[in-house]
A and B are shown apart, each in its own frame.
Chain A
Amino acid sequence: TMYGSLSKMEKDRLIALIREEEKRKIYQITDLGREVLALEKERIIRLYRNMEEV
Chain B
Amino acid sequence: MMRKKIMVRFFTIPEYERECLFLQEQHRQGWKLVSVYFPGIYLFEACEPEEVVYQLDFNEEGRKELHSYVQIFKDCGWEYLFSYMGYSYFRKPMKAMQQQESIFCDDASRLDMMRRVFKSRMIPLVVLFALVILPQTFLQASQRDGSLHSFFFYTYVVLFVFYLYIFVRFFLHYRKLSRS
Contact = CB atoms under 8 A, between A and B. Distances in A.
B155 interface: no
A1 B71 contact: no
B47 interface: no
Interface in A17-54: 20, 23-25
B72 A2 contact: yes
Contacts of B76: 2
A5 B113 CA distance: 12
A1 B109 contact: yes
> Which interface class (under 10, 10 to 19, 20 to 34, 35 or more) fits A?
10 to 19
Contacts of B67: 23
B68 A5 contact: no
B73 interface: yes
A51 B72 CA distance: 36
Contacts, number: 37
A6 B75 CA distance: 14
B69 interface: yes
Contacts of A6: 72
Contact of A24 (B57, B59, B68, B109): B68
Interface residues of B toward A: which range?
A: 10 to 19
A5 B61 CA distance: 13
Nearest to A3: B72
B67 to A, nearest CB: 4
Interface in B52-78: 57, 59, 61-62, 67-73, 75-76
Interface string B88-105: 000000000000000111
Interface of A: 1-7, 20, 23-25
28 contacts: A1-B57, A1-B59, A1-B72, A1-B103, A1-B109, A2-B72, A2-B73, A2-B76, A2-B103, A3-B57, A3-B62, A3-B69, A3-B72, A3-B73, A4-B59, A4-B109, A4-B113, A5-B105, A5-B109, A7-B61, A7-B62, A20-B68, A23-B67, A23-B70, A23-B71, A24-B71, A24-B72, A25-B68
6 smallest CB-CB distances across A and B, nearest first, come from A23-B67, A23-B71, A3-B72, A1-B103, A2-B72, A25-B68
